[in-house]
């Protein structure tokens, strides 16, 4: 097990992006028809205008389902204080199931965030049927920043880089077949678009130890160089392209699609626990190792990180699911690769919906009631806040 430094990090800010195919249940269908929904128009209909009208009505209704469950929700991607319903055009629709993505508000680990995720799915599943395909996935954005001044430091970034290298093999092993070698979330060290030098250093660990790879990371001195070092693609398992944006997040793109609150909380917890522990780990003991740590070591790493984040994160990770998935990686066909290339080209012009939302935060202090410190004090029953904070 990696040793930990004396540094502490008790609060993380984060956001979720969850992709689904969705259709209204019988009760919701009746409601939609009254609002102008055309039940005869399916996703494969060639009339784009009628489909656009249906999507708009459906998105408003999904936001309404969340609000009915007590979750702030809308359609405005510029509002970082509420969940947003957006169209995810990279998803292939099936039958009468329509593509959609839910983007969370900016949340903090000191909040009762697990209850909020429970309520999201309670509202969603009350009115809608969910279908998950291999094109669907979940992404988790994480930042240390409670203020503009406390985004990731370079020391913290290097620790995360070492952590994702150390556990890359184990992370691949816990994924289902369609996420092990997925073009939308490739391994940073073994994937097709991973930099050749990193591939070489990673593959050479059984011969030359972790030292050469870790020493290469130690030479990265500026945030602007991190994305270049890790391959200049946002479609990696861990995406560092937003470090210099206002949101300042690292994004974990590997998680599979989720259709329930426990699944969503699990992958959020795995990500938060991993980052939490990576930030305080001293990787010196690993430099002389010639082994890729097994899944059980990853499980301990994640759970140690979750324990550091406090009671609001307890129970998020399902340890029964944090085990090796022995299914073989599902390869993409040539036709699928061509389609994905087209979708990536189109998607590159849009960027991440959570990043767009997070970047909309004003550079002014938030009120004391909504600051992370106030949230932490509220969860501890103190009800006091000593100073104002900026959004991360």
Average pLDDT of the segment spanning 182-194: 94
Which of 320, 338, 356 is the last residue in one of the domains?
A: 338
Per the listing, tokens 């702030």 go with 72
Q: Is residue 318 part of a domain?
A: yes
Q: Is residue 364 part of a domain?
A: no
CB contact at 8 A, 308 and 9: yes
Which of 108, 136, 164 is the last residue in one of the domains?
A: 136
Average pLDDT of the segment spanning 219-243: 93
Whether pLDDT at 374 is above 70: no
Per the listing, tokens 């055309």 go with 38
Query: Which H or E run includes 138?
Result: strand 138-143
Claim to verify: residue 320 and residue 192 sit in the same structural domain? yes
Q: Is residue 373 part of a domain?
A: no
For the segment 135-149, what is each residue's pLDDT rounded down to a tens digit? 999 999 999 975 667
Claim to verify: residue 300 and residue 205 sit in the same structural domain? yes
Q: Is residue 330 part of a domain?
A: yes
Q: Is residue 345 part of a domain?
A: no
Average pLDDT of the segment spanning 323-338: 92
For the segment 196-212, what is each residue's pLDDT rounded down to a tens digit? 999 999 999 999 999 99
pLDDT at 365: 35
Claim to verify: residue 187 and residue 239 sit in the same structural domain? yes
Claim to verify: residue 283 and residue 195 sit in the same structural domain? yes
Long-range contacts of 182-185 (CB under 8 A, 24+ apart): 182/137, 182/254, 183/235, 183/332, 183/337, 183/340, 183/344, 184/90, 184/137, 184/235, 184/253, 184/340, 185/137, 185/235, 185/236, 185/237, 185/253, 185/254
Q: Is residue 356 part of a domain?
A: no
**The domain containing residue 188 runs over which residues?**
145-338
Q: Is residue 363 part of a domain?
A: no
Minimal CA–CA distance to 386: which of 366, 359, 368?
368
| CA distance readout (Å), 217 to 43, 169, 253 | 46, 18, 21
Claim to verify: residue 334 and residue 191 sit in the same structural domain? yes
Claim to verify: residue 154 and residue 288 sit in the same structural domain? yes
Q: Mean pLDDT for the chain?
A: 88
The whole-model pTM stands at: 0.89
Q: How many domains does the chain have?
A: 2
40 against 246, higher pLDDT:
40
pLDDT at 373: 41
Which of 136, 164, 181 is the last residue in one of the domains?
A: 136
Claim to verify: residue 16 and residue 63 sit in the same structural domain? yes
pLDDT confidence bin for 391, thresholds 50/70/90? very low
Whether pLDDT at 32 is above 80: yes
CB contact at 8 A, 106 and 82: no
pLDDT at 56: 96
Distance CA 317, CA 273 (A): 9
Q: Is residue 283 part of a domain?
A: yes
Claim to verify: residue 185 and residue 327 sit in the same structural domain? yes
Q: Please name every residue paired with 251 in a beta bridge, in sequence order, or none if there are none.
A: 141, 239
Minimal CA–CA distance to 134: which of 95, 89, 168, 177?
177
Claim to verify: residue 245 and residue 100 sit in the same structural domain? no
Claim to verify: residue 180 and residue 56 sit in the same structural domain? no
Claim to verify: residue 84 and residue 204 sit in the same structural domain? no
pLDDT at 261: 99
Claim to verify: residue 239 and residue 297 sit in the same structural domain? yes
């Amino acid at each position: 097990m990696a040793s930990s430094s004396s540094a502490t990090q008790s609060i993380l800010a984060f956001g979720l992006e969850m992709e689904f195919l969705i259709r209204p249940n019988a009760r919701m269908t009746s409601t939609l028809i009254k609002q102008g929904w055309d039940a005869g128009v399916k996703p494969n209909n060639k009339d784009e205008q009628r489909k656009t009208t249906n999507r708009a009505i459906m998105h408003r209704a999904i936001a309404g389902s969340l609000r009915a469950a007590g979750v702030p929700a809308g359609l405005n991607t510029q509002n970082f204080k509420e969940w947003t319903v957006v169209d995810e055009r990279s998803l292939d629709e099936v039958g009468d199931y329509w593509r959609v993505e839910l983007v969370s508000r900016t949340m903090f680990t000191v909040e009762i965030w697990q209850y909020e995720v429970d309520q999201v799915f309670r509202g969603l599943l009350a009115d809608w049927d969910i279908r998950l395909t291999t094109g669907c996935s979940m992404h988790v954005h994480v930042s240390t920043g409670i203020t503009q001044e406390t985004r990731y430091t370079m020391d913290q970034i290097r620790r995360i880089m070492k952590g994702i290298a150390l556990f890359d093999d184990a992370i691949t092993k816990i994924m289902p077949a369609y996420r092990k070698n997925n073009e939308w979330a490739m391994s940073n060290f073994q994937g097709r678009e991973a930099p050749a030098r990193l591939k070489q250093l990673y593959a050479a660990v059984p011969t030359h130890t972790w030292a050469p790879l870790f020493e290469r990371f130690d030479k990265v001195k500026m945030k602007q160089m991190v994305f270049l070092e890790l391959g200049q693609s946002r479609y990696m398992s861990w995406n560092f392209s937003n470090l210099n944006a206002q949101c300042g997040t690292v994004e974990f793109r590997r998680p599979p699609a989720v259709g329930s609150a426990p699944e969503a909380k699990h992958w959020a917890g795995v990500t938060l626990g991993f980052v939490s522990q990576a930030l305080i780990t001293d990787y010196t003991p690993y430099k002389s190792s010639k082994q890729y740590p097994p899944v059980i070591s990853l499980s301990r790493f994640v759970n140690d990180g979750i324990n550091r984040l406090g009671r609001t994160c307890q129970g998020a990770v399902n340890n029964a699911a944090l085990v090796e998935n022995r299914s073989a990686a599902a390869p993409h066909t040539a036709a699928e690769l061509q389609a994905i290339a087209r979708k990536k080209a189109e998607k590159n012009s849009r960027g991440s919906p959570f990043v767009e939302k997070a970047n909309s935060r004003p550079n002014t202090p938030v009120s004391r009631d909504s600051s992370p410190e106030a949230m932490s004090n509220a969860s501890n029953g103190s009800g006091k806040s000593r100073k104002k904070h900026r959004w991360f």
